[in-house]
Amino acid sequence: MFDNVFSGEAWKTAWDIVRSDFHFATWETLYVTLAATFFAVVLGLPFGIILATGDEKGVLPIPKWLLKVTSAVINVLRSVPFLILMMLAIPLTRVIVGTSVGTAASIVPLVVASFPFVARLVETSLREVDKNVIEAAESMGATPLQIIFRVMIPESVPSLIQNLTVAATTVLSYSAMGGAMGGGGLGNVAIMQGYYRYQYPVMLLAVVVLVAIVGVIQAVGTRLATRLDKRLKK
């Protein structure tokens, strides 16, 4: 089955595919990853704030039933496998994009799948903020919204960046799976040009490029979080 992986002809064919398809596929993957991560943060950040501050003793309490419903919705969406979620999101994708196939269409299920993950990461980051700092802000008369946006979020920026870096790499892996379902990008090239044509070197090279992208995203996120961490400047 994999006899042709190490043959010179297989690698020559793979290199031809790399030169013809990989550049555009890589840009498609980056575009989908960045766009989906952005919209996931836009949706996930408010939910994360609610989950972190909405309990009875929180900074901004909300009705217990509403907090439970919000948490349940987040948990349900997180538990649905991405490929199944892509199928379930087809009607929504058609309403928003006008089609369920293509690069732009893959962004919708990616956002639906990743924003609950982002919400939990934001919740975790906000809960790490020192309670003494929050209490100090409360004693100075700060309103709940001021505490959230002027104390909790600024104090948790390094943790948020680290967690959102993890979210971005997760979205990248989802985008590769989405490519297998007609979403474009490196995943689509790996399946259509590699697996279906028995050009296994193409799949290997697609994995190498994806690993390299993950490495760059992780390195940038870690460096940025380290530079913004006040504890390391003392």
**Is 80 exceeded by the pLDDT of residue 128?**
yes
Token pair of 227, please?
């530079």
198 pLDDT exceeds 80?
Answer: no
Predicted local distance difference test score (pLDDT) of residue 68: 93
Q: Are 113 and 92 in contact (CB under 8 A)?
A: no
| Mean pLDDT, range 133-138, rounded to an integer | 89
Cβ atoms of 148 and 17 within 8 Å: the answer is no
Count the domains in the chain.
1
d(CA 38, CA 60): 25
Distance CA 167, CA 175 (A): 12
The tens digit of pLDDT for each residue in 204-224 reads 888 888 999 999 999 999 999
3-class secondary-structure state, position 80: coil
pLDDT confidence bin for 1, thresholds 50/70/90: very low
Mean pLDDT of all residues belonging to the chain: 85
Q: Is the pLDDT of residue 6 over 80?
A: no
pLDDT digits (tens, 9 = 90+) for 54-87: 988 888 889 999 999 999 999 998 888 888 888 8
Residues 6+ away with beta carbon under 8 Å from 229: 158
Residue 203: give the domain boundaries: 3-233
| CATH number (domain holding residue 120) | 1.10.3720.10
Closest CA to 41 of 163, 131, 186, 203: 163
> Residue 176 in contact with residue 210, Cβ under 8 Å?
yes
pLDDT band at 233 (very low <50, low <70, confident <90, very high): low
